[in-house]
Amino acid sequence: MTDFAATKSMFHLPEGMIYLDGNSLGPLPISANDRVSNMLRDEWGDMLITGWNKAGWMAKPMGLGDRIGKLIGAEPGHVTTGDTLSIKVYQAVAAALALRPERKVVLSDNGNFPTDLYMVTGLLKSMGSDYELRVVDPEAVQDALTDEVAVMMLTEVDYRTGRKHDMRALTQAAHACGAITVWDLAHSAGAFPVDLAGCEADFAVGCTYKYLNGGPGAPAFIYVAPRHAEAAQPALSGWLGHEAPFAFDLDYRPGQGVERMRVGTPPIIQMTALEAAMDVWDTVDLNDLRAKSIELCEAFISGVEARCPDLVLASPRDPQQRGSQVSFHFQEGYAAMQALISRGVIGDFRAPDIMRFGFTPLYIDEADVAAAVEILAEIMENRLWDRPEFKVRAAVT
């Protein structure tokens, strides 16, 4: 049984704050400061260039990939880390398209995170006018799988509502019509068990700064199924994805398997912070995590629905169809969220009217949920959101 009181003690959580925004940026693992500080002093400081060998910097992208891989059901050696999620989306979709050269359609849904759609738009534009990004409603994806579709690219959990696609069924349907799948696990990795190998997913990508708690701008990851590992061609063919980076050949030859999805010099300081975060995960059973996450979400929903009749559930009611977040519609959601934040309950807002709350059992417990419901109820009952100071929009929300 996972000891969630113990995991909670491994994070720095500001006094008086209830942090329900771990689906945007996870909190600081307490060990990260020492880890990074030691790395700066003992590795960069004292080893300098030799750190690439001596301190194992060069092996970090694959080492971290394997640690993440355990949380998403990937085969060992088939996940690597680096760059940003946007870049990894581009790599995955480009490689997937090259496996279906006779097809020209990338299918996605309008609940996908916009950058995924933007990156594919850019990719297809450079590939020529016969390619198409086809975007449908989340519920319409399965019916839109035709033999025109080269790649089905979906974010498993909708960042607005927490609605969760059925990865197994959709992957099977995509394969049945001959399409390759690219799954974005931004709101899945560390939120619940993912079974990439069992679902026969082809490519997957994700970030590490949300549920995995790797810190602001932590590196992304990419998975390539073993059966595609030697066929997948990297569009972003950088030197660290080369078969022999330090031979400095003029011609590119892709490295082994997913290693070819490495591009440039990895961000070692960020990776060191991420390693501290991954240490916490070593103590966690994802089935326990999922059970606890559902408990917390259910408690929040029933509390809010009982106390705040103006808030309308935007997330699926069935916990199996949700990720690890709960969203509510409220027309004055922006102001209500600002009011909440001013009272120490941190969630976030997504236009036009969605109040989002992430539930992360590693550091959020039943008492936090009860307190958050109480504060939200006070704000709603007393219309505290209706103050001018809560209606001023910040640049970044």
Stretches 138-146, 177-185, 239-247, 304-312: which one binds a copy of itself (CB under 8 A)?
239-247
1: contact with a copy of itself by CB under 8 A: no
- Please tell me which residue in 4, 90, 113, 221 is annotated as part of the active site: 113
252: contact with a copy of itself by CB under 8 A: yes
Q: Per the structure block, which two tokens stand in for 296? A: 């917390």
**Alpha-carbon gap, residue 381 to 198, rounded angstroms:** 47
Cβ 57 to a copy of itself, closest distance in Å? 6
Binding-site member from 139, 147, 230, 249 for a copy of itself (CB under 8 A): 249
**Sequence-separated (6 or more) residues with CB below 8 Å from residue 394:** none
Cβ 116 to a copy of itself, closest distance in Å? 9
**Alpha-carbon gap, residue 39 to 20, rounded angstroms:** 30
285: contact with a copy of itself by CB under 8 A: no
**305 sits in which H/E element:** helix 286-307
Binders of a copy of itself: how many residues, by CB under 8 A? 92
Stretches 165-173, 311-319, 327-335, 345-353: which one binds a copy of itself (CB under 8 A)?
345-353
359: contact with a copy of itself by CB under 8 A: no
Binding-site member from 169, 231, 269, 306 for a copy of itself (CB under 8 A): 269
Stretches 119-127, 139-147, 172-180, 369-377: which one binds a copy of itself (CB under 8 A)?
119-127
Binding-site member from 57, 223, 300, 390 for a copy of itself (CB under 8 A): 57
Contacts with a copy of itself, 23-52, as mask; x by CB under 8 A: -xx-xx---xx--xx--xx--xxx-xxxxx
**Sequence-separated (6 or more) residues with CB below 8 Å from residue 286:** 71, 192, 193
267: contact with a copy of itself by CB under 8 A: yes
258: contact with a copy of itself by CB under 8 A: no
Which among 44, 58, 63, 68 has a CA at the least distance from the CA of 280?
68
User: In the 8-state DSSP scheme, what is residue 347?
Assistant: -
- Catalytic residue check, 184: yes
Beta bridge partner(s), residue 329 = 312, 354
Output Rg (C-alpha) for the chain, integer angstroms: 22
CB atoms inside a 10 Å sphere around CB 49: 8
**Sequence-separated (6 or more) residues with CB below 8 Å from residue 256:** 229, 230, 243
Residues involved in catalysis: 113, 184, 209-210, 356
